[in-house]
């Protein structure tokens, strides 16, 4: 019952309705198009807003033991558990070649910033405040998943003909110095340094504009996801199932870990969302450098075309219901 109420609450929010509009328009091959510059600007704004708020809250709370434990759990999940699980399922059950399996595993070990942002908005609409350091945990979990997947590919290459293995350091540099991590981490630093007066000055920009710009971005993401759904019309059964099952397993692991660490319902929900999400912004560029022989469209189609819509529409309320149940 909790899940149904949460799902309905989520579905009727303006942001999700705009996402559904874009999804439908993309699936129907509508002529709707959104300028690339507008999407890029909205993405940068969301990263700035989330980073700034996270930095301000982290400065107020400080580096607590619970933050350090949560960050360590996030690193273990993102670098070892989730990529290893995805890789094993794709190779052993799906019969996929290790290179493409590692590329997909990298995306599912990393996180989706927009899914996290949508989840924070979901919690805010319900009046639930998560721990302020969760934004910092999110930032720390973006790169390790990519590294974990690439290391799986290197381990396979070391036992095969390609002894050199994929290029780890160029991919690592791309992951750490790409636009997304630079803006996110830089905004966190700004939010931590400006003090109360600086934060109050930024409130109209960071808080008041947030729902509208998130709606624009989700409309664009829905349009892109809808256009990619046709890729599963033929022969995508197993991969489509994987793209739904993987976030469910990751979300359950994240929710369980968050409750064991002692996070609140909001914090546990966000930790589950991080474990359940898959990257489609930071990971593709890094994986393209490290694994040039992998199919670059396959991981993005799975993460953006299936996992992202599933998480935004049904996953977030489900992970919230898991968190509520674990805290009873």
* pLDDT band (50, 70, 90) for residue 275: very high
Question: Can you give the pTM of this predicted structure?
Answer: 0.84
pLDDT in tens, 103-133: 999 999 999 888 998 999 899 888 998 998 8
197 burial type by CB count under 10 A (0-12 exposed, 13-18 middle, 19+ buried): exposed
SS3 for 161? Answer: coil
Q: Is the pLDDT of residue 37 over 70?
A: yes
pLDDT of residue 86: 96
pLDDT of 250 reads 97
The 10s digit of each residue's pLDDT in 295-328 is 877 888 889 888 999 999 999 999 999 999 999 8
Q: What is the pLDDT of residues 2-23, one digit of tens each?
A: 667 666 766 778 888 898 898 8
What are the two backbone dihedrals, phi and then psi, of residue 195, each rounded to the nearest 5 degrees? 80, 180
| 213-270 pLDDT per residue, tens | 989 988 988 888 887 766 665 556 888 899 999 999 999 999 999 999 999 999 999 9
From its phi and psi, is residue 154 left (phi > 0), alpha (psi between -120 and 50) or beta? Answer: alpha
Q: List helix spans (H) across the chain.
A: 2-11, 14-27, 36-61, 65-76, 82-88, 98-109, 113-125, 134-158, 168-177, 179-193, 195-203, 210-228, 237-261, 265-276, 282-290, 297-302, 308-310, 316-326
Could you tell me the pLDDT band of residue 292, with boundaries at 50, 70 and 90?
Answer: confident
User: Within 13 Å, how many C-alpha atoms sit on residue 269's CB side?
Assistant: 30
Euclidean distance between the first and the last CA atom of the chain, given in angstroms as a whole number: 15
Domains and CATH numbers, the chain: 2-326 (1.20.1530.20)
CA distance 318 to 3: 6
Site of tokens 């991981």: 299
pLDDT at 58: 80
> Which residues have CB under 8 Å from 161's CB, separation 6+?
none
Most confident option among 119-123, 136-140, 282-286: 119-123
pLDDT class for 198, splitting at 50, 70, 90? confident
């Amino acid at each position: 019952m909790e899940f149904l109420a949460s799902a309905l609450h989520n579905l009727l929010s303006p942001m999700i309705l705009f996402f559904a509009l874009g999804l439908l328009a993309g699936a129907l091959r509508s002529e709707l198009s959104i300028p690339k510059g507008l999407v890029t600007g909205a993405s940068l704004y969301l990263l700035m807003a989330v980073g700034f708020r996270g930095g301000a809250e982290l400065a107020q709370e400080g580096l607590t033991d619970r933050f350090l434990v949560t960050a360590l759990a996030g690193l273990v999940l993102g670098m070892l558990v989730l990529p290893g699980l995805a890789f094993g399922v794709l190779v052993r059950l799906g019969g996929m070649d290790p290179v493409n399996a590692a590329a997909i595993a990298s995306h599912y070990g990393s996180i989706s910033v927009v899914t996290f942002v949508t989840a924070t908005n979901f919690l805010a609409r319900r009046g639930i405040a998560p721990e302020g350091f969760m934004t910092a945990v999110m930032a720390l979990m973006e790169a390790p998943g990519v590294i974990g997947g690439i290391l799986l590919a290197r381990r396979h290459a070391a036992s095969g003909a390609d002894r050199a293995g994929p290029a780890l350091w160029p991919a690592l540099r791309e992951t750490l110095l790409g636009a997304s991590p630079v803006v996110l981490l830089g905004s966190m630093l700004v939010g931590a340094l400006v003090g109360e007066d600086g934060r109050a000055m930024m409130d109209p920009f960071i808080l008041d504009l947030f729902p509208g710009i998130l709606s624009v971005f989700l409309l664009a993401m829905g349009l892109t996801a809808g256009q990619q759904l046709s890729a599963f019309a033929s022969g995508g059964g197993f991969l489509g199932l994987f793209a739904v099952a993987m976030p469910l397993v990751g979300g359950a692991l994240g929710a369980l870990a968050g409750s064991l660490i002692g996070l609140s319902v909001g914090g546990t929900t966000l930790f589950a969302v991080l474990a359940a999400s898959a990257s489609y912004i930071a990971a593709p560029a890094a994986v393209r450098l490290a694994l040039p022989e992998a199919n670059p469209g396959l991981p993005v189609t799975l993460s953006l075309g299936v996992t992202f819509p599933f998480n935004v529409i049904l996953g977030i309320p489900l992970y919230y219901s898991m968190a509520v149940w674990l805290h009873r």
